[in-house]
Amino acid sequence: MIDFLSLLAHLFDTAVLPALTCASETWTLRKQDEHAVSVTQRALERTMLKISLCTQLQKGIRSSELRHRTKIRDAVDYATKSKIGWAGRVMRYSDDRWTRAVTDWIPRDIKRTPGRPPTRRSESSRKL
């Protein structure tokens, strides 16, 4: 018989993880976004194991230990892999679809704000 924790892990991987990273293929995946997704995932892992943050800190349980116990996939890795898959699919398009045009588009009539410029979609794809 399947134990309850493996059932929760399967439910997380099939339902919660896709909802958590919904449309992550089009994100620029900044460090801020990665941090927010990983914080949410750690909170869900603690809930699955019925361990509060206070208990985790008091007992000195590391987050990597919680991940090992729950055996669920990392949400940031899942988002990165789905982004790479989507970018590969778009780059293989041979016709003039809007997704390819928008990915390669650089606005000529708009000046970027001073300071550190925000990451563009094409720049985040080059890092991968």
Q: Mapping DSSP to helix (H, G, I), strand (E, B) and coil, where does residue 24 land?
A: helix
Alpha carbon 89 to chain centroid distance? Answer: 18
> What pLDDT score was predicted for residue 1?
41
Residue 97 lies in a domain: yes
Residue 112 lies in a domain: no
Residue 110 lies in a domain: no
Residue 38 lies in a domain: yes
pTM (2 decimals)?
0.75
Number of structural domains found in the chain? 1
> What's the rounded Cα separation, in Å, for the pair 69 and 6?
10
Question: End-to-end alpha-carbon separation of the chain, Å?
Answer: 41
pLDDT beyond 80 at 120: no
Q: Which of 63-67, 101-105, 119-123 has the weakest average pLDDT?
A: 119-123
pLDDT beyond 70 at 123: no
List the one residue out of 81, 103, 79, 74 whose CA is nearest residue 91. 103
State which residues form the domain around 15.
Answer: 4-105+117-127
pLDDT beyond 50 at 98: yes
